[in-house]
Amino acid sequence: MARLTPASPAASRARAVVRRLTAAYPDAVISLRYGAPWELLVSVILSAQCTDARVNEVTPRLFARFPTPEAVLGGTQAELEELVRPTGFYRNKARSIRGAAEHLLEHHDGQVPRTTRELTRVPGAGRKTAAVVLGEAFGIAEGIAVDTHCGRLSRRLGLTAETDPVRAERDLMVVVAQRHWIAWTHLLIAHGRAVCRSRVPRCNSCVLLDICPEGRARTAVKRH
Ligand code: SF4
């Protein structure tokens, strides 16, 4: 793949992607439901290997019982596990939530920190979690949250060749303008769910077809 720079063809393609997908999905926002930053942090931890819809079913009861890090430490691990069980991997997730609560109380007076460096030290939180929490809770764009949709579409659009989310994020931070970093994830998730599906992308009805290397290859193959 050609070297990526803010002036490369990939960067101008990324600008077109933002323009067209913003027009196609003007209401694209995060689908996790939360109130305080702590709730968002917990929701993102729970969303690993789980749909946002399932997380949203679980969190009202969870947040009513454990509205703060202090409340988590005042409860039992078993109770926490039971509440998050429907999201899968519940033992690990409950352990991460408890670890996060301890970490926030020990290092941040129980508050969610506002930098990637600090957030990625919270148990259960990697760069994706940090990007989502900073972007959504505080409006801070320090990175791009690369989930499965965002990674797949970015590769199909020729904006990265990386399958590792952290490496893909590094490429995207070069070609996507920083003012679009927060929206980028939501736009690609919306398009990934509606059109650019994992197994059978609907290239012929895609607003990005003329600028998408993967789409052009797929439709050219079909024409022959
Ligand atoms: S043209 Fe096809 S592969 Fe490219 S973004 Fe659209 S649906 Fe996805």
Ligand 1 atom with minimal separation from the 207 CA = 6
- pLDDT tens, 69-106? 999 999 999 999 999 999 999 999 999 999 999 999 99
Whether the CB-CB separation of 67 and 223 falls below 8 Å is answered with no
CA angle 78, 137, 125 (to 5 degrees): 45
The pLDDT score that the predictor gives to residue 7 is 77
Q: Which atom of ligand 1 is nearest to the CA of 209?
A: 1
Q: From ligand 1's centre to the CA of 194, what distance in Å?
A: 11
Determine the pLDDT at residue 2: 74
Cβ atoms of 190 and 23 within 8 Å: the answer is: no
Give ranges for CATH 1.10.340.30 in the chain: 37-138
- Ligand 1 proximal residues by C-beta, below 6 Å: 153, 156-157, 195-196, 201-203, 206, 208-209, 212, 214-215
The pLDDT-based confidence of 222 (bands split at 50, 70, 90) is low
> Which two structure tokens, joined as six digits, stand for 12?
């101008």
Task: Give the predicted TM-score (pTM) of the model.
Answer: 0.91
Mean pLDDT of the chain: 96
At the second CATH level, the architecture of 37-138 is Orthogonal Bundle (1.10)
List, as one string, the DSSP characters of 172-208: HHHHS-GGGHHHHHHHHHHHHHHTS-SSS--GGG-TT
128-154 average pLDDT score: 97
Neighbours of 64 (CB within 10 A): 10
Which part of the chain has CATH 1.10.1670.10? 9-28+144-219
What is the best residue among 152, 187, 214, 221 to mutate for testing ligand 1's pocket, by most ligand atoms within 8 Å of CB? 214
Rounded CA-CA distance 39/102 in Å is 15
pLDDT, tens digit (0-9, with 9 covering 90-100), for 44-69: 999 999 999 999 999 999 999 999 99
Q: What pLDDT is recorded for position 55?
A: 98
**Which CATH number describes the domain made up of 9-28+144-219?**
1.10.1670.10
CA of 46 to the centre of ligand 1 (A): 29
